[in-house]
Amino acid sequence: MDKLRQAAVAPQKLFLDGTWQAAEGAPLDVVSPIDGSVLTTIEGASAADVGRAVASARAAFEDGRWSRLAPAARKKVMHAIADRIEAEALELAVLGVRDNGTEFNMAYKAEPGSAAGTFRYYAEAIDKVAGEIAPTAPDVLGLVHRVPVGVVGAIVPWNFPLMIGAWKLAPALAMGNSVVLKPAETASLTLLRLARICSDCGLPDGVLNVVTGTGAETGAALAHSTDVDVLTFTGSGATGRRLLEASAASNLKRVYLELGGKSPNIVFADDPDLAQAAKVSAMGIFRNSGQVCVAGSRLLVERAVHDDFVAMLTEQAEALQVGDPLDLRSQIGAVNSEDQLRRNLSFMDMARAEGGHIVTGGARILGDTGGTYMAPTVVTRVTPDATLFQREVFGPVLAVTPFDTEEEALRLANATEFGLAAAVWTGNLSRAHRMVAGIRAGVVHVNTYGGADMTVPLGGVKQSGNGHDKSLHALDKYVDLKTAWIQL
């Protein structure tokens, strides 16, 4: 671990058409949130660089080097990629932690561990997902073919770049598409390493291109490209809106968005183990310093147990060890960047101004390390019209609001523009089913928080986005349906 922590990271290039190339734009520093040191540089791709990447992907798609490869052959390559990710898991995890600050114990499982499983899952799906024969008249044969869309643009966030990158890359490749991948500028290193792995494992040149740089230049160029057929994105609602505008202004490419949430975690007094609920709920918001799309950032607690539950959860929060994410004793790592930490702290000022009470946390800690760390934070007296109730922080900040009835809990749960995730803690099975049915969210946990695997989809409703990552349903984003109507 120490050797990997201290290993020099060479300046990174763009991965275009199977080779490492310099960009027209100026390089960007990669600053580690662990201690504020500069790890290396990445290229800042210009619009022209993105154009070269898209052209490479289009050429690879059109000549069929991957898109018309036999399913069994694509499957073999994707299994090889999964094997290689597993073989390099430790190195990938440490590199990613140095880049984005996630605590190692979580990163090892969630990043290379998840990515390898994702590639393996979609490798197995390749030769098991078929078209259809329509129930037509006896003298007609109606066939529905599932064909690759062409060139996929994928824009990936900084919180779990390897995991979320694999969620987009693996199903797109499985269906025979070519991909231009744009990582976040504050977490690009593991996805550049993944490009090398894919190439080494036999993915043909041009099928995967990786362009690094800012969202304002590199991401915008990808979104406005008239030769990208589908754009898939995980990130903020503001950026998602700009991507939809870019689609309308260019070629009307399909745009799939996962835009985060303000997920309610609802605790009823009849839950049989409130102490366990408090423990799980604490990790449901504070793991990865709250930088999780589905984080349970709104705690709705039945008034009868409100004070006791907040006390238990506060005890859990204060017991968490925040620190160097490469120290195996650390349970919570660093906030991704100085910009994100400043944004988190600005919410504390708003919370105080709007009558919120900061029970614990609310401040930067470990400032002498040079890194970006924030104490797990619990804020009570948060009303439904408060900023902290309505807006996503994407940091280790929990907003607490009491309720009196099941009907009020449901109303509060649905009282934001988001609809990504939720949780319900109750010992009443009928109530659990009513809440699952009534909450407007893509995933509702019951007596747990987090942990859904690759077999089920992840997607949002309302302003949390559209489309789904994970599961076989994710394949739908990367295929077109083509009907063949044959007179017999």
Active site residues: 258
Instruction: Return the structure tokens found at 340.
Output: 């994100």
Residue 14 contacts residue 5 (beta carbons within 8 Å): no
200, 123 Cβ separation under 8 angstroms: no
107: phi then psi, degrees, rounded to nearest 5: -60, -40
On the CB side of 346, CA atoms within 13 Å amount to: 11
And the tokens for 409?
């809990």
All residues at 6 or more sequence positions from 451 whose CB lies less than 8 Å from its CB, including other chains: 445
- Residue with tokens 């101004």, as numbered in its chain: 353
* Residue where the block lists tokens 């059109």: 62
Residue 109 amino acid letter: K
Q: How far apart are CA 376 and CA 360, in angstroms?
A: 7
* Alpha carbons 126 and 416: distance in angstroms, whole number: 38
Give Cβ neighbours of residue 440 (< 8 Å, ≥ 6 apart).
414, 419, 461, 462
